[in-house]
Amino acid sequence: MIQHDLQDTLIENRLIAILRAVDAGRFADAATVLHAAGVRVLEAALTTPGAPDAIAVIRKKLGDEAHIGAGSVREPSDVDIAADAGATFLVTPTVNPLVLERAHERGLPVVCGALTPTEIDQAWRLGAAAVKVFPVAAVGGVAYLRAIRAPMPDIPLVPTGGVHLADVAKYLESGSIAVAAATPLLGDALTPGGSLTDLATRAGEFVAAAAKYVSRV
């Protein structure tokens, strides 16, 4: 997947589900439920023990119908771990030029994490496919995103960090290329005994909210 392919994928789906937990034991099961509900883009955080193996399992289980990325990528070595596991894209929490350079060498597009206008502009100039505005809720949410887009309307933004179901439409209406959600979407599904049935319900609601903006830019 190259930069423009990832942008097209985000426009076609508008939603990234973030898998992050104490361990990755439930990642594959949750990914299957998410996929069945219509979620096609998933991010598995490398900070979760077992995440690389989970990425490989999910890729094999869901095939090319799903796009499985690696999140929390902070070092060039993380890029190699993600690439070797079969990740099709990367997500970073920060702007690290060395990570973007290594990702380019490995042929993986990056949703690069940034917060300030300077960081967002830098991430885009360094070749990010899109820029993750993180943590967006902590700095003003939709109002902050609109303020960022005013002088930089050409940069595809993905708000992350505290994105709830009620926020999906607001962010997409404000020009985001997609939204990414973790706990508000996954709930307790990644913990032992967590409800996959409830996850299916939440996933369907998130997909329905995002679907209204599919292919709209």
Per-residue pLDDT of the chain (217 residues; tens, 9 = 90+): 677 899 999 999 999 999 999 999 999 999 999 999 999 999 999 999 999 999 999 999 999 889 999 999 999 999 999 999 999 999 999 999 999 999 999 999 999 999 999 999 999 999 999 999 999 999 999 999 999 999 999 999 999 999 999 999 999 999 999 999 999 999 999 999 999 999 999 999 999 999 999 865 5
Single-letter amino acid code for the residue at 32: T
With H, G, I as helix, E, B as strand and everything else as coil, classify residue 133.
strand
Whether 65 is in a domain gets the answer yes
Q: What local confidence, expressed as pLDDT, does residue 4 receive?
A: 81
Q: Write the burial class of residue 138 (CB in 10 Å: 0-12 exposed, 13-18 middle, 19+ buried).
A: exposed
Whether 216 is in a domain gets the answer no
Whether 217 is in a domain gets the answer no
Whether 172 is in a domain gets the answer yes
Boundaries of domain holding 104: 3-211
Q: What local confidence, expressed as pLDDT, does residue 187 receive?
A: 97
Counted domains in the chain: 1
Q: What is the dihedral of CA 54, 58, 59, 60, to 10 degrees?
A: 100
Whether 24 is in a domain gets the answer yes
Could you tell me the two tokens for 46? 């490398």
Q: Write the burial class of residue 118 (CB in 10 Å: 0-12 exposed, 13-18 middle, 19+ buried).
A: exposed
Cα–Cα dist 133/141, whole Å = 10
Could you tell me the two tokens for 200? 């299916």
Pairing of strands 110-114, 130-133: parallel
Cα–Cα dist 87/99, whole Å = 15
Q: What local confidence, expressed as pLDDT, does residue 194 receive?
A: 96
Q: Which residues are CB-neighbours of 174 under 8 A, at least 6 positions away?
A: 142, 145, 146, 149
With H, G, I as helix, E, B as strand and everything else as coil, classify residue 27.
helix
Specify which residues 110 forms β-bridges with: 90
Cis peptide before 49 (omega within 30 of 0): no
CATH classification of the domain holding 111: 3.20.20.70
Cα–Cα dist 157/148, whole Å = 9
Q: What one-character DSSP code corresponds to residue 214? A: T
Under a CB-based contact definition with an 8 Å cutoff, are residues 40 and 65 in contact? yes
